[in-house]
Amino acid sequence: MSDNPLFEEWRTPFGLPPFDRIRPEHFPPAFDRGMAEEEAEIAVIAHSPEPPSYVNTVEALERSGRLLAAVDDLFHNLNSSATNPEIDALARDYAPRLAAHRSKIALDPDLFARIDALYQKREALGLASDQLRLLERHHSRFVRAGALLGPAEKARMAEVVARMAALHTQFGQNVLHDEDEWRLVLDESDLAGLPGFARDAAAAAADERGLTGKYAITLARSSVEPFLTFSARRDLREAAHRAWTVRGEHRGAHDNRPLIGELLALRQEQARLLGYDTYATYRLDDTMAKTPDDARHLLRQVWAPAKRKAAAERDELAAAANDDGLNAPLAPWDWRYYAEKVRAAKYDFDESGVKPYFVLDNMVAALFDTAGRLFGLAFVPRDDCPVYHPDVRVYEVRGADGKAIGLFLHDNFARPGKRSGAWMSSYRDQEALDGEVLPIVVNNNNFAKGDPTLLSFDDARTLFHEFGHGLHGLLSRVRYRSQSGTAVLRDFVEFPSQIMEHWVQAPEVLRRFARHYQTGEPLPEALLGKLLAARNFNQGFATVEYAACALLDLDLHARPEPPPDIAAFERDFVTREGMPAEIGLRHRPPHFQHLFDGAGYAAGYYAYMWAEVLDADGFAAFGDAGDVFDPALAARLKTVFSAGDTQDPMVLYRAFRGRDPDISALLAQRGLDR
């Protein structure tokens, strides 16, 4: 295809993809050529007549597969943020092909022999520290992919990996199908209790779906959670909650339950082929935690106090519900509604009173100001860059010296064809092997669009969280692509994102940027005080909701055989762990995308709490310094963000904090220390 833009050098600003020219039919020939080119490049490395050296093996490997990487990054991002039936079909078709291609490289005996030869004499090669770590990490990746297996086992490993890739893709598409298909259509008479911002968002969602004169609640979290928080109609709250919790388990073509059993069996087979008893043992061997027992120990330290706190919260909510005339047991669709009422009474403020001060544009300005004060960054709008959807905003990111360090894309709104949740990704990673390559980073959120868009406090935290991931990519200053930005151990990758959440809670930030959307007046000091005082409110609920899912994940992946009935397993789990019935699992298995639409967080969902130990303890250093923008601490933190995977993460943390992390800050942060 001679006019395929994927084969061109993109002469757009910063080399952004020319989105307006790219069509689904451009991807198959680009994927095919990209795989063929990389296969040829790998063959040259693997069969070189020259003895293996760092340059002709490791660095040559880093230079390989450039076309495929660019096409795959582009496709992955469009498939997540702006998909359509054609892209969905391509994803199903190419996921197993790409997995087979990667397996062929990972299982190439001649390529591994060269890497292994260098690894065995690594201390005598005179390598710089980043080069030594890269060699060790490459060697580990090949071994963990099956490089030491015999021919028959390698063939089976390739089959397993390809099948898992197909199942991951189907799982995610099934969830998105259920989210796009469902909506709760409301009339004016159904809106009792909903504040203005929630009504406006529901009206906009209805208009977007051609439901003129109606209101619509969707399964985007920014739509359904405010509805569950404010709607006075218990029957409608129940309908929305049930729809939210049964995503992925409708009988028929989009049922994820059969996929889960097959995925778990394949993962267990993968682990056994590599000599591990369980998939959890295999995955955690390459993390900071190292073992499932250590990860589980962390979760157990918060599980019991969280349940105690949640029980006390439940009693308060039940009393409020009784006063409200509810003559039935508290149900999961009641918790948020009565929690908001109790919070309003206890702290003399409610979410609807705070939300008018959290304007999306102002919170974005707060992000950029925080990055400027901490790291010397400036975000300059660029209106001349191509985008894949009109919602996307583009910023050139400049360092303290005024020079560009990367490009930042901000895609903040929920819409059909965009998967739910919030995430960071990239169209290009920073590296400097053959000259400086600047990163192109994207943050995705799923806020309900309004005029203006108003955020909850939790939404604002999510905004800062994803921005932390974004900064991890933007601030990267490494030599090699494989070590760039977020390419770190799974249970460290959330540290940069979670520590950034603390700045949206800093009074210095809120006083400047939390301003009323109509009057421009700052958040009143009294309301600010109440907001900060209420930060630990409902933390029993939040901790139980999260920790239960992390424990479930470990339980699923630490079994020698997958459960024959995932629904029965779930019921047994919540009973065995004493899961409060009024809370329920935040992520039930049929829609637990962290685990099943990819392997990134499989046996690793605990990583958010592992990283929270680091972020709570790390931010406490700023408190000890008496300045949330302390220059010396900010400089050391910037080093963590910039280092990528060039050093062991605990070495990086100790250099920042001056000691090992302490869990006490996390317990205090969640109000679980009393």
Q: What is the pLDDT of residues 615-656, one digit of tens each?
A: 999 999 999 999 999 999 999 999 999 999 999 999 999 999
Do 388 and 447 share a domain, yes or no?
yes
Task: Look at residue 58 and tell me whether its pLDDT is greater than 60.
Answer: yes
Do 360 and 493 share a domain, yes or no?
yes
- CATH number, position 24: 1.20.1050.40
- Please report the pLDDT score of residue 581 as a whole number: 93
CB neighbour list of residue 497: distance below 8 Å, 6 or more residues apart: 424, 465, 466, 467, 468, 469, 472, 611
Do 375 and 467 share a domain, yes or no?
yes
Do 486 and 367 share a domain, yes or no?
yes
Q: Please answer whether residues 168 and 194 qualify as being in contact, where contact means their C-beta atoms are separated by less than 8 angstroms.
A: no
CA distance 596 to 171: 7
pLDDT band at 348 (very low <50, low <70, confident <90, very high): confident
| 653-670: pLDDT as tens digits | 999 999 999 999 999 989
Do 208 and 268 share a domain, yes or no?
no
Beta bridge partners of residue 185, listed in sequence order: 216
Out of 245, 270, 295, pick the residue that ends a domain. 245
Phi, psi angle pair for 294, to nearest 5°: -70, -40
Q: How many domains does the chain have?
A: 4
- Please report the pLDDT score of residue 433 as a whole number: 98
Do 460 and 593 share a domain, yes or no?
no
Is 188 designated active site?
Answer: no
Do 262 and 239 share a domain, yes or no?
no
- CATH number, position 494: 1.10.1370.40
The answer to whether residue 100 is domain-embedded is yes
Out of 552, 576, 605, pick the residue that ends a domain. 605
The three state secondary structure string of 423-489 is EEEEEECCECECECECCEEEEEEEECCCCCCECCHHHHHHHHHHHHHHHHHHCCCCCCHHHCCCCCC
Do 405 and 507 share a domain, yes or no?
yes
Q: Looking at residues 180-185, what average pLDDT do you find?
A: 95
Start-end of H helices in 324-445: 332-347, 351-354, 360-375
How many Å is the Cα radius of gyration of the chain?
A: 25
Q: What is the mean pLDDT of the chain?
A: 96
The answer to whether residue 549 is domain-embedded is yes
Task: Look at residue 1 and tell me whether its pLDDT is greater than 80.
Answer: no
Do 396 and 490 share a domain, yes or no?
yes
Q: Could you tell me the residue range of the domain that residue 277 belongs to?
A: 257-349+539-605
| 459-498: pLDDT as tens digits | 999 999 999 999 999 999 999 999 999 999 999 999 999 9
CA distance 478 to 436: 10
Task: Look at residue 271 and tell me whether its pLDDT is greater than 60.
Answer: yes
The amino acid present at 631, given as its one-letter code, is P
| 368-427: pLDDT as tens digits | 999 999 999 999 999 999 999 999 999 999 999 999 999 999 999 999 999 989 999 999
The answer to whether residue 412 is domain-embedded is yes
- Please report the pLDDT score of residue 373 as a whole number: 98
The answer to whether residue 252 is domain-embedded is no
Do 309 and 438 share a domain, yes or no?
no
59, 249, 396, 466: which one is catalytic? 466
- CATH number, position 269: 1.10.1370.10
| 70-119: pLDDT as tens digits | 999 999 999 999 999 999 999 999 999 999 999 999 999 999 999 999 99
- Please report the pLDDT score of residue 673 as a whole number: 80
Q: Please answer whether residues 370 and 355 qualify as being in contact, where contact means their C-beta atoms are separated by less than 8 angstroms.
A: no
Beta bridge partners of residue 359, listed in sequence order: 454
pLDDT band at 349 (very low <50, low <70, confident <90, very high): confident
CB atoms within 10 A of CB 335: 25
The answer to whether residue 174 is domain-embedded is no
Do 330 and 447 share a domain, yes or no?
no
Q: Looking at residues 301-309, what average pLDDT do you find?
A: 95
The answer to whether residue 306 is domain-embedded is yes
Q: Looking at residues 496-510, what average pLDDT do you find?
A: 97
Q: Looking at residues 601-622, what average pLDDT do you find?
A: 96
| 200-236: pLDDT as tens digits | 999 999 998 999 999 999 998 889 999 999 999 999 9
Instruction: Of 35, 18, 67, 88, give the one whose Cα is nearest residue 3.
Output: 18
| 155-168: pLDDT as tens digits | 999 999 999 999 99
Do 41 and 129 share a domain, yes or no?
yes
pLDDT band at 351 (very low <50, low <70, confident <90, very high): confident
The answer to whether residue 493 is domain-embedded is yes
| 108-158: pLDDT as tens digits | 999 999 999 999 999 999 999 999 999 999 999 999 999 999 999 999 999
Q: What sign does the CA torsion over 134, 140, 141, 143 have?
A: positive
Q: Looking at residues 507-534, what average pLDDT do you find?
A: 95
The answer to whether residue 170 is domain-embedded is no
- Please report the pLDDT score of residue 44 as a whole number: 98
Q: What is the pTM of this model?
A: 0.93
Out of 589, 605, 621, pick the residue that ends a domain. 605
Could you give the 3-state DSSP secondary structure of residue 247? Answer: coil
- Please report the pLDDT score of residue 2 as a whole number: 65
- Please report the pLDDT score of residue 493 as a whole number: 97
Task: Look at residue 304 and tell me whether its pLDDT is greater than 70.
Answer: yes
